[in-house]
Amino acid sequence: MVRDFLAGTGISEEQIDRVAFLIGHHHTFTGIDGIDYQILVEADYIANATENGYSKENVSNFMAKIMKTQSGKRLLTTVFGL
């Protein structure tokens, strides 16, 4: 679907491949291979945790094991009062 959506936009095939990969893997926390993927995983988790009321324990574990960016850690700490 993403390939059809981005067709004819002037975006390179390599960029389209990356977008398709990120969309297909945004809930996969292993094999994170770039800052774009890291930011997407962190942002998606923060949104899901906020919307679904994840426990502080779950949030703390995610921050300790998965989060890498200072911005993500700061936002998660602020939102969840860690």
Tens place of pLDDT per residue across the chain (82 aa): 888 999 899 999 999 999 999 999 988 999 999 999 999 999 999 999 999 999 999 999 999 999 999 999 999 999 998 8
Q: Please say whether the beta carbons of 46 and 72 come within 8 A.
A: yes
- Domain containing 38 equals 2-80
* Overall domain count for the chain: 1
SS3 (DSSP) at 66: coil
pLDDT confidence of residue 81: 86
* Entry pTM: 0.84
CA 21/CA 2 separation, integer angstroms? 10
